[in-house]
């Protein structure tokens, strides 16, 4: 295939990756209770979220805590863990899907909250659940080119407002089974935040090299999952089938271009549901025991999902381990990124 879908980095590394878990646990049983009138009227069984999606619970922020406040907290933790001072940072990328307004960017508040210098470039990257992986790639390119030395990538998500609106809509007397199934994915979402600090590998022995990877687009499927403040509306079957095909195409293209990801030490995937994860494992023959699972306790935390899972796994990884980050975002887009731990 012609094009530039595969890429390699020369001198960028993850110096730290951190997460902030929203403290309020909301079980799927509680969701069933709130939807009890419509479930009864539509003759839908309870526990679909657990049985079908595998999501037992998700997190919400307490009143007064904003998703951007959580992103600032995650970024501060990552800078401290990396040993990098705010004044050394040349780039901040916010990759959150959640936002309060169309402008200004979410990044400006986080830039201010982290105490970054005026010289630090800051902007949002919006690419659904793939945003954080895209942010790492962009930062790596700028570090490789010498434009910057250090970057902070953040994501903060707040699922509660959208889910509250969905409860109201699905409990209306005129809601249908089709409405419930179309909005089922909204109920799997969760809240959380993550951050990573990226820097030059040669200046930080023992850091985690960002090796490179592959990206593929299937934008003919851009209407399969459409989300906004009022809810997320999904063609679940179409999203799974076409998302899987895109992942397999990207996997095959990467291997045709010299990559070999068949025996990685860890596969850190975007966390969606049990059916999605099982399908990915089967489609490209991953070693199941090397695929960490976090969606049962966090749900789908959008672009924060993958780095939160990576942060959870980091203490169990050792120097020399090979890690493959695998993300898919509605649109459709996919990207796979190899890390040398």
257, 3 Cβ separation under 8 angstroms: no
Catalytic residue among 103, 173, 220, 289: 103
Burial of 273 (0-12, 13-18, 19+ CB in 10 A): buried
Catalytic residue among 129, 183, 225, 253: 129
Q: 133 Cβ partners below 8 Å, 6+ apart?
A: 303, 306, 325, 327, 335, 337
Q: What are phi and psi of 108, to 5 degrees?
A: -65, -40
What does 307-336 look like in DSSP terms, one character per residue? HHHHHHHGGG--TT-EEEEEEEETTTEEEE
173 among known catalytic residues: no
Beta-strand pair 12-21/192-200: antiparallel
What does 175-187 look like in DSSP terms, one character per residue? --HHHHHHTGGGG
183 among known catalytic residues: no
152, 91 Cβ separation under 8 angstroms: yes
**Residue bearing tokens 């672009």:** 303
Residues marked as catalytic: 103, 129
């Amino acid at each position: 295939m012609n094009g530039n879908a595969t890429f390699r980095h020369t001198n960028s590394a993850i110096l730290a990756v951190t997460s902030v878990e929203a403290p309020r646990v909301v079980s799927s049983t509680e969701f069933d209770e709130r939807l009890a009138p419509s479930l009864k009227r539509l003759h839908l069984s309870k526990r679909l979220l657990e049985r079908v999606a595998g999501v037992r619970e998700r997190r919400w922020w307490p009143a007064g805590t904003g998703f951007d406040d959580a992103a600032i907290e995650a970024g501060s933790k990552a800078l401290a863990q990396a040993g990098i001072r705010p004044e050394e940072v040349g780039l901040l990328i916010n990759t959150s899907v959640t936002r309060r307004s169309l402008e200004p960017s979410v990044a400006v508040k986080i830039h201010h909250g982290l105490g970054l210098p005026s010289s630090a470039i800051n902007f949002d990257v919006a690419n659904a659940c793939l945003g954080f992986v895209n942010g790492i790639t962009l930062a790596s390119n700028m570090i490789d080119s010498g434009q910057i030395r250090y970057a902070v990538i953040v994501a903060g998500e707040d699922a509660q407002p959208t889910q509250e609106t969905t409860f109201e809509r699905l409990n209306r007397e005129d809601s249908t089974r089709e409405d419930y199934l179309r909005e089922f994915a909204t109920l799997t979402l969760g809240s959380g935040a993550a951050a990573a600090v990226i820097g030059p590998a040669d200046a930080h022995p023992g850091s985690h090299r960002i090796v490179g990877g592959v990206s593929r687009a299937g934008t003919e499927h851009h209407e399969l999952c459409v989300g906004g403040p009022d809810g997320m509306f999904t063609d679940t079957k179409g999203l799974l089938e076409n998302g899987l095909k895109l992942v397999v195409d990207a996997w095959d293209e990467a291997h045709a271009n010299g990559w070999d990801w068949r025996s990685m030490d860890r596969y850190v995937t975007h966390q969606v549901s049990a059916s999605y994860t099982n399908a990915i494992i089967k489609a490209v023959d991953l070693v199941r025991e090397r695929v960490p699972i976090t969606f049962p306790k966090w749900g789908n935390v959008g672009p924060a999902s993958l780095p939160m899972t990576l942060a959870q796994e980091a203490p169990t990884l050792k120097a020399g381990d090979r890690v493959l980050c695998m993300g898919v975002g509605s649109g459709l887009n996919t990207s796979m990124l190899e890390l040398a731990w």
